[in-house]
Amino acid sequence: MSKIAIEFGIDQALEALGIQNINNGTSTGTENFSSGEIIESYSPVDGALIGKVKTTSKGDYEKVMVTATEAFKIWRAKPAPQRGEIVRQFGNRLRELKAPLGKLVSYEMGKSYQEGLGEVQEMIDICDFAVGLSRQLHGLTMHSERPGHRMYEQYHSLGVVGIISAFNFPVAVWSWNTALAWICGDVCVWKPSEKTPLCGVACQNIAAEVFKANGLPEGISCLINGDYKVGEFMTQDGRIPLVSATGSIRMGKIVAQAVAARLGKSLLELGGNNAIIVTPNADIKMTVIGAVFGAVGTAGQRCTSTRRLIIHESIYDQVKDAIVAAYEQLRIGNPLDENNHVGPLIDTDAVAMYKAALEKVVAEGGKLIVAGGVLGGEGYESGCYVKPAIAEAENHFEIVQHETFAPVLYLLKYSGEVENAIAIQNGVVQGLSSAIMTNNLREAERFLSVAGSDCGIANVNIGTSGAEIGGAFGGEKETGGGRESGSDAWKIYMRRQTNTINYTTELPLAQGIKFDL
């Protein structure tokens, strides 16, 4: 273990999370039976090897699915409020382990320790939400056109839910899906990112502990590890009625096609190319705070990260100067040190993508006003630390049209009315998160109107990142159209059934049809 890991207690965190053997492997609880190859997890913080897990072979996967499908028969039969009690216990265990799990998230993924703690808090929050939801899985009643008949809708458990999550939120997004799926009576098979496998093992250990303490089968929560080939086991498996996948647009299109080919359901949370519109009526101080955090938080590796800042020409220079001045104050370094604002990118491949984006924007005619660059030397030995960069650009640039998963912010200028800015914002294929900074009520309402933002999330006077679990999370267009977390997102994890009951001694037909025998 590295000096940084020792100094910040990573060994103790791993031990608290039940990760004592670095060869944890595939698990459907505490049992390890994987026969696949080894994935080594290196921290982007210092380049040190944290641990190893075994990938899931096809044979391993079949064992997992047998375990999960058998567990489903038991779990679905429990009343939803009883399932809620189990989720409540899981949330309480997360409260107890918040510090070590947050530390592991920070060290394995590279986000700041405060963001790691915040991610675990999201897990706790969604558990609280799900516990309340366990008594509110409401259907509808409606009037029948036939005398002596009653009609209503009800929701039933769906089955095995497959979850494919990304490295940038290695635990929270899993919990958004899992907590709701569990409440709905489903069981889950989870493939975490191969870049953050130990976070998956930690969560599985916590869940397995809770289920075991309650005498419940381990297959309610299952873990598989590996790359896209392991994910294909789920996308092509007719025993999994719903696959929830978070990742790139490219990945999402592959998943959607595979699942649709077998007429399954997919819940997709894909790329974002999020913008903040800054009108002449904006509070500049609030704008700077929202834009800077949105652009550099998690080193620009959030699907809701701010990629574009669309500024009215009358205040363009003022906003630009304020943003550049704020970037000069950023501290880049070990994310476990709470004095730092920005940690590393996930790996050197991400660094190469960052460098290519900066070269591309200049080649297309843009101008770097905060040059960026890769950091080296003491404290940056992993090769994953970069300087957040800012470029003046045009929305039609090819590089601006694509999501760069790194701290690169593009400044775009608009003139005239707010509708012109909205057109620029909507002029990309992604449709996840959006924001407007204005104190003008009419501008705000135009932004939120049917002719306004085309994104799944539209904010006024807050940035593009930092969604609350109470609202449904997701986006439109090539972001995938999925919705997770709050509101009525639970419905996708269940199957809807319409019921009609005839309590008469006759059998009248609908629409007045006569069929006498």
Q: Which residues are catalytic?
A: 269
Say how many Å lie between the first and final Cα of the chain, rounded: 82
Residue 187 CB contacts under 8 Å (≥ 6 apart), including other chains? 68, 69, 71, 72, 75, 159, 160, 161, 181, 219, 220, 221, 222
CA-to-CA distance for 354 and 322, rounded, in angstroms? Answer: 24
CB 361 within 8 A of CB 393: yes
Q: How far is CA 183 from CA 80, 268, 289, 342, 491, in A?
A: 6, 20, 37, 36, 11
* Exposure string over 73-103, b if 16+ CB within 10 A, otherwise e: eebbeeebeebbebbbbbbebbeebbbbbbb
Residue 152 CB contacts under 8 Å (≥ 6 apart), including other chains? 139, 140, 141, 142, 498, 499
In the block, tokens 């970069």 appear at 386
User: Helix-strand-coil percent breakdown of the chain, rounded to 5?
Assistant: 40, 20, 40
> On the CB side of 386, how many CA atoms lie within 13 Å of its CA?
32
* Residue 202 amino acid letter: A
CA-to-CA distance for 240 and 249, rounded, in angstroms? Answer: 22
Q: How many residues does the chain have?
A: 517
Tokens of 160: 């095995």
CA-to-CA distance for 35 and 32, rounded, in angstroms? Answer: 9
**Cα 349-178-467 angle, rounded to 5 deg:** 65
Residue 442 CB contacts under 8 Å (≥ 6 apart), including other chains? none
CB 428 within 8 A of CB 399: no
CB 183 within 8 A of CB 316: no
Q: What is the DSSP string of 267-290?
A: EEE----EEEEE-TT--HHHHHHH
Q: Nearest-CA neighbor of 433 among 274, 247, 310?
A: 274
User: Coil, strand or helix: which one is 412?
Assistant: strand
